[in-house]
Amino acid sequence: MDATDRKILQLLQNDASMPIGEIAEAVNLSATPCWKRIQRLKKDGVIRKQVVLCDPKKMGYGAVAFVTVRTNQHNAIWLERFAAAVQRIPEIVEVYRMTGEIDYLLRVVVRDIEGLDAVYHKLIHSVEMFDVSSSFAMEEIKYSTAVPVDGSPLIAVE
């Protein structure tokens, strides 16, 4: 991956709907070589997929909760059941296996506290857990889906 590929990735992470011609102009290429680079980045798995990011608040999901899960069952069967359970609950948008005191961290988007309670009940009916704790985010200070490209800030596209 060279500097041109990285610049293309910066542009696409900022706006995946940007026309090829505009991307090509921004990276000093003609449209066809630019398109071929993007196709190669897709084929190589660097670009996993292109999506639309919806505003959770405008979709009625105004609350974000972070849920920590501790288990005393560290086996494949439990993990399979847990992974299947979180996949079935659409409000759980991210799940990470952690080091340290917490086994799993979940980011959950819900309408309100009752929505989190409903998610909690779905989860505890699906899999046994030792401890579950949650905290609501008071304010979103930074949110990005962009992966850093050589540590440089994203290019603002007007």
Residue 158 pLDDT > 80, yes or no? no
- Residue 158 neighbours by CB under 8 Å, 6+ apart: none
Please choose, from the candidates 32, 61, 41, 36, the residue with its C-alpha nearest in 3D space to the C-alpha of residue 149. 41
pTM assigned to the model: 0.85
Cβ contact 66:108 at 8 Å: yes
pLDDT tens per residue, range 21-49: 999 999 999 999 999 999 999 999 999 99
Residue 154 pLDDT exceeds 60: no
Q: What is the CATH number of the domain that holds 69?
A: 3.30.70.920
Distance separating alpha carbons of residues 107 and 36, to the nearest angstrom: 36
Residue 83 structural domain: 63-136
Helical segments of the chain, H only: 3-14, 20-26, 31-43, 76-88, 113-126
What tens digit of pLDDT does each residue of 122-138 get? 999 999 999 999 999 99
Alpha-carbon Rg of the chain, whole angstroms? 20
Q: Which residues have C-beta within 8 Å of that of residue 152, sequence separation ≥ 6?
A: 6, 10
User: Residue 32 belongs to a domain with what CATH number?
Assistant: 1.10.10.10
Does residue 144 lie within any of the structural domains? no
What's the whole-number mean pLDDT along residues 59-74?
Answer: 96
Residue 52 scores a pLDDT above 70: yes
Spatial separation of the C-alpha atoms in residues 84 and 78, rounded to whole Å: 10
Q: Does residue 93 have a pLDDT over 70?
A: yes
Domain count, the chain: 2
Q: What's the mean pLDDT in 68-94? A: 96
- Asked if residue 71 and residue 132 are part of one domain, the reply reads yes
